[in-house]
Structure formats: structure tokens, C-alpha cells
A and B are shown apart, each in its own frame.
Chain A
């Protein structure tokens, strides 16, 4: 029998967020420049497990990802059952900055996908000095809604399966089937109403159009990454976003969708590596 330990280390951290104690789970691997990764709505840090096992990346970067409150192994705060979960711009911003501060990260690179990418744009506007560079994946300033989020949280529809069913088409059919299914598994495990609550932020924060023009990409380089199978945050949406931000670089990924880091980790790494090289060389 052969056993293999992975280099990924997981820990818990207690953070005071908005006056409530949150037990936050995070994982990390590697050493070097901190690369703080934000998962998509309704999912968790496992989306970045492949990145954390990529030696070409962990040789130069300390890859860190945390489960947002209510997600993965981060416990909801006491009293969670008394109110509907809704992620807001304020709570999301505060959580990321508080987590980075708690780990004493020195101007990490911030990378996020979907809602994690949308908050990257917000932080690029409001807190760029706290970061070395930013990478936003599937993070257009606005997108066209294509379904009613009420379906994601109702007692007569299985929450895990409907969330997975909604996002299943956002991946490329050419991505490895095992990785596609693994991506869906984390959606199937999401707590009731969590994905819907995350999308509250996503839809609430539409209309960044004016703010993004003020992003200073000289001070904090911004890279945008777009998969051609992502029909939710389309290539057109991402191109429009890149055109609004002087100096922003759009990386067009062919053959992946909305979850490049988990649906096709090797292909994603081939697109990300040059971005990281460029950040280091600056």
C-alpha cells in the first residue's frame, strides 16, 4: 500500500467580522510571494487544490485560499439560523482585508474567480495599495442574468443538485470529466441558500462601469482572464470590462469556462504562469 501526503496544510483561524466571531478555514502551500485566492460563489477553497500542488507555482509563491464564512469548513457564526445569508460588498471586502491582515501578508497578489473576481475589481478601486497585483477571472463589471436565483433555495428542490445543475454548463465539455464532476461536487455540498446569498453580492454590485476607470494599473497591475465556454460572464463582457480600465490586460483562455482552476487545472496553469512571471518581473 502506498500513501502520499500532499504539501497542502489546512488550519483554522478565528476572526472577528462585523462583531461576530467567525471560525475560518484556510489552506496553503508553497513559499515566496503570497498569492491569495478567492473561490467562486457557492463553492470553497478546494477549487485551488491543483494550483497548490503545482510545483512550478509553489516554488515561487505561497498560495493561500480560505473558505468564506458559511462556505466549506468555515463555520457560520452563532445565530446564523436567525437571518437569511446575504453576502454584501462591505462584508466581503472586510473579510478579505481582515484575513490578509491576520496572516500578516505583505502585499499579496489577489486572485479571484466569479464573485471572487468581482470583488477583485472593487478592491482594485478602493484598496489597491494593499496588493502587489490582481488577477480577476470571470469578473466583468456587469453580466446579463440568465436564470431566476429563487430556484437555488427552496425546500421542494434539492439545493445541492440545482446549484450544480445551474453551473454545470459553465464548463467546457472538453475539460477532463473527473475535474468537471469534482467542480460540481463542491456546489452540491454548499449550505442551503449560500450560493443564492453570494449571488446577492454579484447582482447587487453590477454597474461598476464608472468606478473601474479609476483603477491605477501602474500602481497595481490588473490581469483579467476569460474562458470561452463561460456563457455567464462572456468574452464580450470581459472585453468590455478590460476596455474600461486603462492598462488592464485581458487573457483569453480557449477551452475552459467559468471554473478554469478546477475544471482544467493544467490548462489554467499554462495561462496563469506567464501572468505570474510578468508580475514577478515588474
Chain B
């Protein structure tokens, strides 16, 4: 779990190291919540950059949409080559291992950006 959370915390630097991905997300703005198991991360995007990303919980901090998933699902999702059903956010929502909640307009109107953003930890190794 610690490794999973450490990889989650790398999201801002992984995005910053991907200028074209950041460019593709330049119209994505606002706060969202990412939940890895029972650990929440509060994030805020401004013009495609993660200007705030912190482990919660932070009381009464609003978000527009939330993406929640159990730890094992995230672990499999972040494998370099994930197995079937664990390879895509929408596959995992169909499987009911991930949940998309709130106003999902920002997520869906920037779907390719968010899919690539949330897959970034695949590029950094996890625990063997």
C-alpha cells in the first residue's frame, strides 16, 4: 500500500515531465478527488497542470468529480501491461472496482487526457 501511495504522489511530477500531455489538458481546470483504497488525494488542475496535489483527508474541501478505486484494482491498473478488465478506467467502472462520482463533465470532456494522466504511474516501477 505504501508503494501504491508513493506512486500516486508522483503524479504531479510525472505530469510536469510530460509537456505534451499537459498541453492536451490545457482546458482542464478545477478540483477532483482521487481515492486509492481508503486514502483520498485532493487535486486541482489549472490549464492542464496539477497546481495542487495532497494526501487527505482535508475536511470540507470541495471537488467536482471523484475517481475512487480499491487498492488492488489500482495496483493492477498500474502494472506495465495490465490484465484484461484492469487495463482501463471505464473497464474498471463497468467492473464496479472503480467509481466515478460527482459532475463528470470535466472528466469526460477531457477523457483522453485524464485516461493518460491516471495511467502515468505505469511508467514508474512498483514493488515486485
Query: Which residues on the B side are within 8 Å of A169 (C-beta)?
Result: 87-91, 115
B109 within 8 A of A: yes
* Chain B residue with Cβ nearest A156: B109
Query: Which residues on the B side are within 8 Å of A158 (C-beta)?
Result: 109
B29 within 8 A of A: no
Knowing A165-B112, A166-B111 touch, does A172 contact B90 (C-beta < 8 A)?
no
A239 within 8 A of B: no
Q: How far is the CB of B46 from chain A (nearest CB, A)?
A: 20
Q: How far is the CB of B64 from chain A (nearest CB, A)?
A: 15
Within 8 A of B (CB), among A135-158: 144, 146-147, 151, 156-158
A92 within 8 A of B: no
A165 touches B82 (CB 8 A): no
A161 within 8 A of B: yes
B94 within 8 A of A: yes
Query: Which residues on the A side are within 8 Å of B89 (C-beta)?
Result: 169
B81 within 8 A of A: yes
B115 touches A168 (CB 8 A): yes
Query: Which residues on the A side are within 8 Å of B85 (C-beta)?
Result: 231
A165 touches B91 (CB 8 A): no
B94 touches A146 (CB 8 A): yes
Query: Which residues on the B side are within 8 Å of A164 (C-beta)?
Result: 112
B6 within 8 A of A: no
B128 within 8 A of A: no
Within 8 A of B (CB), among A156-203: 156-158, 161-162, 164-166, 168-170, 172-174
A/B interface sample: 16 pairs, CB < 8 A: A147-B90, A157-B108, A161-B111, A161-B112, A164-B112, A165-B108, A165-B111, A165-B112, A166-B90, A168-B88, A168-B115, A169-B89, A229-B87, A231-B84, A231-B91, A231-B94
* New A-B contacts (5) at CB < 8 Å, excluding given A165-B112, A173-B81: A162-B108, A166-B111, A169-B87, A169-B88, A172-B87
